[in-house]
Amino acid sequence: MSTTINFGIIGAGRIGKIHAENLASRIPGATVLAIADPNIEAARELATRLHVPSAVAEADALFDDPAINAIAICSSTDTHARFIIEAAQAGKHIFCEKPIAYDLAQIDAALAAVAKAGVSLQIGFNRRFDPNFRALRQAVVSGQIGAPQILRITSRDPAPPPIEYVKVSGGMFFDMTIHDFDMARYLLGSDVEEVCVMGGVLVDPAIGEAGDVDTAVIMLRFANGALGVIDNSRKAVYGYDQRAEVFGSGGMVASANNTSFNACLSNAEGVHGPKPLYFFLERYAESFVAEMRDFVACLHNGAPTPVSGLDGRAPVLMAMAATRSLHKGRPVKLSEISEG
């Protein structure tokens, strides 16, 4: 392998731009050779700005280019599984945004193609690379809290997505909670066996009319016996609320929100500090760099990627179980889903 990993990027939208910029300027050992997007103008604009040599409309050109070692799939979710398969067949390593697909058969086909080709695959669960959550995981791994017993995740967005997006996203559990499902597995280092949901439409009736909920609490039972709870809202007026806590036999470790500064004002009304950072672009900016830096490092040194294909599959299964629990009004075991 050359001294740099040559990337082709599929998708020049919001997340595609982030990965392209990071790969172009902040990731040692990586180069971007081409950007593909059906919106060829967007691809060209991004390529020009980042001094990327090639911009194309069709992803095929990337798969066919022998100079390209790795593909970053940043296109819409419905294309992920297909592009994984094609990239794998072309022998490219793959970084793919989450979720892999909304359908287990597609996911399994994609993972099979990756396994057959022997290429590396990393799924874009960037929050694992956030320093706060890393510190929590490290406290668990190092035994500082003993045996984990209770996990709490609070995950609230500052504002709901456009209603058109709600209609096609697969629902809140697939487009928002899926990150929390991954975080749950990451923090405890254990799979989840059962989920139980209570949901409601408390933010915007239009979300309910679109068939989704905008507020939920979700209980989890882990394979290792621990219990967990996630609470979600589509709208926290004070900003992006992203906290987690792991409680165990030896103690508890908890993270708080991040702010853009820490100055506090004391006056006759009280003590006033800053709000959490607004949303994921601000809150997780560095984690997008870190996940890609690790991916590139793994390609360079042949190590397994830190977020595997199975790590991409499990949260989809959890989202399916959560959706069924919401509709049926009862706990749902993941085995119930995976067995059909």
**Interacting residues with a copy of itself between 129 and 168 (CB under 8 A):** 131-132, 134-136, 139, 144-147, 149-150, 152, 154, 156
Q: How far is the CB of 279 from a copy of itself (least distance, A)?
A: 14
CA distance 102 to 100: 7
Residue 274: DSSP 8-state? P
With binding defined as CB under 8 A, does residue 53 bind a copy of itself? no
When asked if residue 28 is in the footprint of a copy of itself (CB under 8 A), the reply is no
Q: Is 105 in the site for a copy of itself (CB under 8 A)?
A: no
**Residue 195-234 contact track with a copy of itself, rule CB under 8 A, x = bound:** -x-xxx-xx-----------xxx-xxx---xxxxx-x-x-
Report the residue number, 83 or 129, with the smaller CB distance to a copy of itself. 129
**Per-residue CA distances from 15 to 11, 158, 178 (Å):** 8, 18, 17
Secondary structure element (H or E) that encloses residue 93, with its range: strand 93-96
**Number of chain residues interacting with a copy of itself (CB under 8 A):** 72
User: Residue 23 Cβ, how far from a copy of itself at the closest point, in Å?
Assistant: 13
In the complex, the smallest distance separating the C-beta of residue 89 from a copy of itself, rounded to whole angstroms, is: 36
Gap between the Cα atoms of 176 and 189, Å rounded? 21
Region of 56-64, 104-112, 178-186, 274-282 interacting with a copy of itself (CB under 8 A): 274-282
> Considering only CA atoms, which of 243, 299, 278, 305 is closest in space to residue 23?
299
Pair 61, 71: CB distance under 8 Å: no
CB of 250 to a copy of itself, least distance (A): 6
Tokens of 65: 């280019």
Q: Which of 264, 301, 339, 340 binds a copy of itself (CB under 8 A)?
A: 264
Instruction: Report whether 259 contacts 238 (CB < 8 A).
Output: no
Contact 188, 128 (CB under 8 A): no
Q: Residue 137 Cβ, how far from a copy of itself at the closest point, in Å?
A: 9
- The angle formed by the CA atoms of residues 332, 99 and 129, to the nearest 5 degrees, is 105
